[in-house]
A and B are shown apart, each in its own frame.
Chain A
Amino acid sequence: MTRDEIKDLILEIIKDIDEDADFDTLQSDLPLRDQLDLDSMDFLDIVMELRKRHKLQIPEADYPQLASLTSCVNYLEPLLKNI
């Protein structure tokens, strides 16, 4: 997947969790949680969806790397490069 595709994947997953999520003002380098009103339970859903869709096992220790959209893409790029 390209960086853009990964970004779209994340946004699609978030939309699936919260259909009212507003991406218009979303800043890629700032924490997703603060900007989108996501709590830790919603956050777990992003991890679970990645596992369900792409069989990715993300260890709990790596969750902080999914904080912002940019950090998500950075973290996932090598893991999704062959998809």
Chain B
Amino acid sequence: MHTPLLIIGGGLSGLAAAIRFARFNPDVLILEKHSRVGGLNSWYYRHNSLFETGLHAITNFAPPEDKNAPLNRLFRQLKLRRKDFSFHEQLTSEICFTNQEALRFSNDFDLLLHEITSKFPGSANQFIKLVETIKEHDPFQTTPFRSARTYLDNTLNDPLLVDMLLCPLMYYGSSVENDMDFNQFVIMFRAIFLEGMFRPHGSIKDFLDRLLNHYQNFGGKIRLQAQVARIIHQGNKVQGVELQDGEIIECDALVSTIGLEETLACLDTPPLRQTQGKRLGFVESIFRLPSECRKDLPTDKTIIFYNNSEQLQYQRPQTLVDLTSGVICFPANFQGLAPQPYFEVRTTHLADYSSWKSLAGDKIAYLTAKSNTASQSKTTVEKIIGNFTQHVVYEDTFTPLTIERFTAKKEGAIYGCPDKIKDGNIGYDNLFLAGTDQGFLGIVGAMLSGVSMVNQHILSRL
């Protein structure tokens, strides 16, 4: 079999890349290892109900009329009618540093501005100047890593404010410990603070189904349970791929969304490229509760980014999990959602892949660690949001091993390797990287990555 364009991975970046191409030429094939699409942001069924694997909130909210907003540009590029989608905006979110300070923000940037002006009056003017810089900066130029933290330390002159601003931006978009690249900081600041957060109507499955339908309506093809084992190439030219079962599919061009090292591992003679720094792992727990308990927990907060230690430690812990900071999400607390019989509390904390890996051989020890982690997470967040443990009707926890197993992300690192390949070029004539390791993170980021890599490298070859 031969196809002009092959895409490895049916996550959000792969789907977006494929739709973008199929819009002009239906001869594109997605190969996805798993039995469903979505990758990190997918779904599963337990007890006859659907659980989302990775959706807290989508960033980059924009109303339909704001044509130049990244979200609407993305929709145009995919030829999706923005007006056909209904989105639920967040209520209020909070950055909560226990015994230190709390900052609320929403999709109205004035709230954050007001909070900072009243709680950090000494840094207010510098903050306003920072926002101007962020609005004017072009974050898409490919420049070497520049520390956002150093920049903020120098401009804001308040270590607490710097930590508080970085907290949500790192949790939702940094592959680097305790810092982020300045360009990535600008992208995430706009995405979260200036634009804001929302969730699509229905579940992530509905959203993915629509993307897949749209793709198939253009004539695009997808094969599920099709794991690429090897990329066949001669020198720098890729000729096709070999699947796990030995089938060979030839192609003119290949886009890989499975990660840099994951892609290099499929090549016979990978060019030498050492990635530096540690990959960040996370544990994510879902607690399902009956709706009667909603009144006991915050109903006005969508997401809380908390930190209980003196200084925020966004880094790989030495133990299974670091509970001193994390994210608490209430997926039911978005505007205009119809009440459901159950609602969820989700928590995210930093985790250490190797500690989890060392338990992998001992099923009981692993399951015990998982359940202990969930309990500790509950106890920790109860101090912030109120008690709910006794009402939990179902809970589940994903460790870095779960994520590695289902998405083949090395070490289960959601944000991939610390250093990114911004131009998608990994030294081959017709093989390009998109998605997580190209550097745009999160749902909108992954989709923009797929679109822009196809625009830059593939469409011109048509």
Decide: A48 near B76, CB < 8 A? Known: A18-B67, A41-B455.
no
A18 to B462 alpha-carbon distance, docked (Å): 23
Could you tell me if A17 and B68 are in contact, using CB atoms closer than 8 angstroms? no
In-complex Cβ contact of B67 among A37, A51, A60 (8 A): A37
Nearest-CB distance from A46 to chain B (Å)?
12
A52 at the interface (CB under 8 A from B): yes
| B73 CB contact (under 8 Å) in A19, A41, A60 | A41
Q: With an 8 A cutoff between CB atoms, is A12 at the interface?
A: no
Proximity string of chain B (422-462) to chain A, C-beta cutoff 8 Å, 1 when within and 0 when not: 00000000000000000000000000000110010001101
Query: In whole Å, how far is B357's beta carbon from the nearest beta carbon of chain A?
Result: 41
Q: Which residue, of B24, B76, B452, has the highest number of chain A Cβ atoms within 10 A?
A: B76
A41 close to B77 (CB less than 8 A): yes
A18 to B77, CA, bound (A): 10
Asked if A44 lies at the interface with its beta carbon under 8 angstroms from chain B, I say yes
A19 to B83, CA, bound (A): 11
Q: Which residues of B contact A5 (CB under 8 A)?
A: none
A42 at the interface (CB under 8 A from B): yes
A20–B83 Cα gap in the complex (Å)? Answer: 11
CB distance from A71 to the nearest CB of B (A): 21
> A43-73: contact bitstring with B at CB < 8 Å (1 yes, 0 no)?
0110011011000000010000000000000
The interface bits of chain A over 16-42 (1 if a CB of B lies within 8 angstroms of the residue's CB, else 0) are 011110000000000000000101011
Cβ of B73: which chain A residues have Cβ within 8 Å of it?
Answer: 39, 41-42
Closest to B462 in A: A51
Q: How far is the CA of A19 from the CA of B64 in the complex (A)?
A: 12
Roughly how many angstroms separate A19 CA and B76 CA in the complex, as a whole number?
10
Q: How many residues of A contact B (CB 8 A)?
A: 15
Given the interface contacts A51-B24, A52-B24, does A18 sit within 8 Å of B459 by beta carbon?
A: no
The reply to whether A48 and B24 form a contact with Cβ atoms under 8 Å apart is yes
Separation of A49 and B76 alpha carbons in the complex (Å): 14
Whether A48 contacts B68 by the Cβ 8 Å rule is: no
Counting residue pairs across A and B whose Cβ atoms lie within 8 Å, the total is: 30
Bitwise interface map of B from 65 to 87 toward A, beta carbon under 8 Å scored 1, else 0: 00110000100110001000000
* Chain A residues, Cβ within 8 Å of B24: 48-49, 51-52
A52 — which chain B residues lie within 8 A by C-beta? 24-25
With a cutoff of 8 Å between Cβ atoms, the chain A residues found around residue B459 in the complex are 44, 48
Closest B-chain residue to A17, C-beta based? B76
CB-CB under 8 A from A41, the residues of chain B are 73, 76-77, 451-452, 455
Shortest distance in angstroms between A77's beta carbon and chain B's nearest beta carbon?
24
Quick one: given A17-B76, A51-B24, are A44 and B68 in contact (CB under 8 Å)? no
Q: Bound complex: CA of A60 vs CA of B459, how far in Å? A: 12
Q: CA–CA, A37 to B77, complex, Å?
A: 14
Among A39, A45, A60, the residue within 8 A (CB) of B68 is A39
A42 to B68, CA, bound (A): 10
A49 to B77, CA, bound (A): 12
CB contact list, B381-416 vs A, under 8 A:
none
Determine the chain B residues whose CB is within 8 A of the CB of A45 once the complex forms. Answer: 77
State the CA gap A18–B451 with chains docked (Å). 17
Most A CB contacts (10 A, CB to CB) among B67, B68, B452 go to: B67
Interface contact B76-A37, CB-CB below 8 Å: no
A18 touches B76 (CB 8 A): yes
Provide the residues of chain B in CB contact with A20, threshold 8 Å: 67
Taking the nearest CB of chain B, how far is it from the CB of A15, in angstroms?
A: 12
Residues of chain B within 8 A of A39, CB atoms compared? 68, 73
Across the A-B interface, the 9 shortest Cβ-Cβ residue pairs: A37-B67, A48-B24, A52-B24, A41-B77, A44-B455, A48-B459, A41-B73, A37-B68, A18-B76
A interface, CB within 8 angstroms of B: 17-20, 37, 39, 41-42, 44-45, 48-49, 51-52, 60
Cross-chain pairs A/B with CB under 8 angstroms, 16 sampled: A17-B76, A19-B81, A20-B67, A39-B68, A41-B76, A41-B77, A41-B451, A41-B452, A41-B455, A42-B76, A44-B455, A48-B24, A48-B462, A51-B24, A51-B462, A52-B25
Q: 10 additional contacts, CB 8 Å, given A18-B76, A42-B77, A48-B24? A: A18-B67, A19-B81, A20-B67, A39-B73, A41-B73, A41-B76, A48-B459, A48-B462, A49-B24, A52-B24
